[in-house]
Structure 1
Amino acid sequence: MTDVDVIVVGAGGGGLTAALAAHDAGAGVVVLEKAEHAGGNTALSTGSVPGAGTRFQAAAGIDDSAARLATDLLAQSGSHDADDLARLLAAGSAGLVEWLIDTHGVDLRLITDYKHVGHSVPRLHAPPSRKGRDLVADLLRAVRATDTEVLVHTPVAGLLHDEGRVTGVRVSGPRSGTYEITSHAVVLAGNGFAANRALLREWAPAIAGFDYFGAHGSTGESLQWALDLGARLGNPTAYQGYAAVAYPHGSITSWTTVEMGGVLVNGAGRRFGDESRGYSGYADAVLGTPGPWHVVFDTKIRDYVASHEEEFAELVAMGGARECASVEELATFCGVSPSALSTTLASAATVASGDDKDEWGRTDWGFGPLHAPYVAVRSVPGLFHTQGGLLVDGHAQPTTDTCPIPGLYAVGGVATGISGHTGGAGYSSGNGLLAALGLGHLAGTHAGARLR
């Protein structure tokens, strides 16, 4: 006799999606969250979920397919430990988006005005606000509508298991007390290990020095529980970074400002690479050049992005995006030489006009050359989440050298990511939520089906 059919550990996007899928498959579910609120890293994201071949794309005249998404993802990431998982998640992406919208009323809209990093066509579906916290609110409302309990302040301290099969969890916390819950299945959805400096030094030492801007609960203990049962780690040194976190505000400087033609300059007032590599892939380039660093664009780009993205509009309202009437005023704000900055912007304008080749290889310049008045955001690079995790099979079950671990599932940052074998350059926009929600759907569906 068990206490509940399925236990979900973690109430971020992956965990809440797993709970919905398990309920739809006929299981009784409880969600346990150690933090004060649901959300995790999903709440800090833009809430963007890739879906290839959705009816929303068809209505917009966008020709897309799962095969095209898989090709795009692997072109960005290169070969890694979870190539098959990338293809599997791509294959289920359209159904995932439409199930969330149609069955559970999650408000996702196709973003058609630009393609995002790593994608050859527009395929990201996001809340109208483009805020992950609104995606979490919709998922949480949908879960509660199924009468599924979501218990916050309820940290899981370990797995219960019997002869290799996971049979439940042990809860232990100052508010929750200590007790055990038994179940037929446990879904680990507590994200990765980016908030655990000791694990970063052990598994991904190259990024242990990054400032961390993700959810504080991403401490990786659930990975260790599974490893103790024989699970295997994949892509441990891969990560999602962000090249331009607004300083000192702490919110991201929307990379749309760069995609529309903005540039990053260093403490010498110079560009230092191809910014179109993406916000994650460019983070290491920022760390490799002296600061302070600034994202430079113009008022046309500022107004365009602010009209589409609430978080960026809030940054502007807080004074985090300084408008400058001239290159000289811009140079004073950035603390760099006016002549150096003038040369940098003039060179960028030339290649953005198509009159020359960019020395860094950049070819995509959005709206074209920048024009005064300019806008600058002081920024720093940061780490948002790790992409290494447990190797899983097609049902999101962690695997040993020989077989899946019975009764155990891993989703999102707990599972091996699909963003390359090492570093941050393999990250395509939406990869984190594709793995979180996509694996959550697979895990919950399989766990519920096994009960039947």
Structure 2
Amino acid sequence: MQALVQQLEEGQVWDLEVDVLVVGAGACGMAAAIAAHDAGAQVAILEKRERPGGNSSLSTGSVPGAGSRFQREAGIVDSPEVMVADLLRLSGEGELPQLTRRMAAISAELCEWLVDSVGARMALITDYCHVGHTIARLHAPVSRRGQDLVDDLLAAVATREIPLATNNPVQVLYLSAEGAVVGVAVGGAGVQTSRIGARSVILASNGFAANRELVKQHCGEIAGAEYFGALGSEGEAVLWGRALGARLANMQAYQGYAAVAYPHGSLLSWTTIEKGGVLVNARGERFGNEDLGYSAYARHVLAEDTNVYAVFDERIMTLASKEDEFRELVEHGGLKQAASAEELAALFKLPPQTLAATLAAFNEAAAGRAPDPQGRARFGMAPLTGRLWICRVTPGLFHTQGGLAVDTEGRVLREDGSVIAGLYAGGGAAAGISGRAGAGGYASGNGLLTAVGLGYLAGRDAAAKVRAGAAA
């Protein structure tokens, strides 16, 4: 088996040399390339899959920004300090506490950069605060589709004439005699092997959620769930990191999703639950507190080991219909409706009396007339009234939130805290800001914040080293 990391041979001749080489063409990789290019570096991007995008394409495209001008224009007062408090309330301190604070500190700048410099068609979401946030601070494409953000990043890459090669998997990282990463070998089935030298390599190759062995090893509680993320998330960064003696951090953290529409495979918008809907099992009973959010609640849905259904009313359905993916799910028959709980139960052969009793108890709690049997405190638009809607759902694993330990510029760290020269990481390749374990610490936008944020920081820092070297 070919070694993942190799010492550079004396007299090595490169097929190509660049200042900054980016491995992976999701939001992290493209943000890194754009930032490095705009700071004066010669950049190239390699993507192992046949198309760019990765998990970023499958997301809602949401990036939190605390204190952005878009918030100020909407009359919303926010700050990085408030954002940090929100994130830590959900996740607790992770293994890289300085990273959470750094991401919050640059979050507003980042959202403004995406709009102003990248040309991303994003706007502040003011309809509601999503999981983990007490203030409306998510900036996203109007469609709530990550593919739109990816398309805008791709357009920015093309405008800058940054080379982007798909179907080019990186197999090896090359090290200098001093231990710095100085290039890569690209190869694989049907790919001519080439060696590319670089002053800096930025790993934006996503996480390890598609690597079932790594998931079992680090995220065992969700290992039985189906994986719904990008197929390329196979954990190369973790494997390279191990070979390099890099520190790994927050490896048990992940983003789950409690309500993937079955059998369609698209996300049932969590707006349906957050705004007052509930999840019930095949017995027509609720089985936990939906306030936990779409990520943390996924393992509870998995543990039910029965069919699970989301139930909400017409008003909530209308609100969720602002999202393109939800409208498509409706158009493709992914939801059904009825005039009463009993009629709704008949659609999926649920016990009608049990479902009616479950919804009645929930409505009493939502109206403030009784405590909620499951401890829920936020009820959105509930009590549920009028026509009811139902969708069968299944839990899923979307991406991992652990990876290579990095500093606040995205530089990869060894176990002893020293920097591996020439190597950066971001997005799923790096440790995230969702805490140490499980899915409970995942706030909406955490994944894209560290993807775009660490890409932006790493690209600028790598370019600064090029300028410093040229000036020396």
Interval containing the TM-score (normalised by the shorter chain): over 0.9
Kindly indicate whether the alpha-carbon contact (under 8 Å) linking 1:246 and 1:377 is maintained by their aligned counterparts in 2: yes
Q: Deviations over 1:326-364 (max 9, x none)?
A: 212211123211110000000111111121221222121
Kindly indicate whether the alpha-carbon contact (under 8 Å) linking 1:154 and 1:175 is maintained by their aligned counterparts in 2: no
Kindly indicate whether the alpha-carbon contact (under 8 Å) linking 1:165 and 1:406 is maintained by their aligned counterparts in 2: yes
Q: Residue 131 of structure 1 corresponds to which residue in structure 2? A: 145
Q: Residue 234 of structure 1 corresponds to which residue in structure 2? A: 249
**1:162 Cα offset (Å):** 1.2
Q: Which runs of 4+ in 1 moved over 3 A?
A: none
Q: Residue 391 of structure 1 corresponds to which residue in structure 2? A: 405
Whether 1:81 aligns to 2:88 is no
Matches within 5 A, 1:48-447: 48-163=62-177, 164-306=179-321, 308-400=322-414, 401-447=416-462
Pairs aligned (count): 451
Counterpart Cα distance in 2 of 1:101 and 1:450:
26
Counterpart Cα distance in 1 of 2:223 and 2:444:
23
Q: Deviations over 1:22-43 (max 9, x none)?
A: 0111101111001111100000
Please give the root-mean-square deviation of Cα atoms over the aligned residues, in Å: 1.1
Kindly indicate whether the alpha-carbon contact (under 8 Å) linking 1:35 and 1:154 is maintained by their aligned counterparts in 2: yes
What code does the residue aligned with 2:129 have? K
**1:260 Cα offset (Å):** 1.0
Counterpart Cα distance in 2 of 1:64 and 1:113:
16
**1:207 Cα offset (Å):** 2.5
What code does the residue aligned with 2:153 have? L
Kindly indicate whether the alpha-carbon contact (under 8 Å) linking 1:153 and 1:173 is maintained by their aligned counterparts in 2: no
Q: 1:40 aligns with which of 47, 50, 54?
A: 54
Q: Residue 7 of structure 2 corresponds to which residue in structure 1? A: none
What code does the residue aligned with 1:219 have? E
Q: Residue 10 of structure 1 corresponds to which residue in structure 2? A: 24
TM-score between the two structures when normalised by the length of structure 2? 0.94
Kindly indicate whether the alpha-carbon contact (under 8 Å) linking 2:281 and 2:304 is maintained by their aligned counterparts in 1: yes
Q: Deviations over 1:3-39 (max 9, x none)?
A: 1111100000100100011011110111100111110
SS at match of 1:312: helix
> Which sits farther off after the overlay, 160-169 or 115-124?
160-169
Counterpart Cα distance in 1 of 2:337 and 2:114:
40
Kindly indicate whether the alpha-carbon contact (under 8 Å) linking 1:74 and 1:83 is maintained by their aligned counterparts in 2: no
Counterpart Cα distance in 2 of 1:334 and 1:112:
35
Counterpart Cα distance in 1 of 2:243 and 2:75:
49
Where do 5+ consecutive residues of structure 1 fail to align?
A: none
SS at match of 2:376: coil
Distance 1:259 1:205, change over 3 A: closer
What code does the residue aligned with 1:381 have? P
Counterpart Cα distance in 2 of 1:289 and 1:339:
20
Counterpart Cα distance in 1 of 2:275 and 2:417:
48
SS at match of 1:27: coil
Q: Deviations over 1:60-117 (max 9, x none)?
A: 1111001111111111101221221011100000000101111121111000010000
Where do 5+ consecutive residues of structure 2 fail to align?
A: 1-13, 468-472
SS at match of 1:407: strand
Counterpart Cα distance in 1 of 2:389 and 2:118:
41
What code does the residue aligned with 1:354 have? G
TM-score between the two structures when normalised by the length of structure 1? 0.98
Q: Residue 466 of structure 2 corresponds to which residue in structure 1? A: 451
> Which sits farther off after the overlay, 90-99 or 295-304?
295-304
Q: Deviations over 1:213-259 (max 9, x none)?
A: 00000000122112211111111111100001000000011000011
Counterpart Cα distance in 2 of 1:137 and 1:290:
38
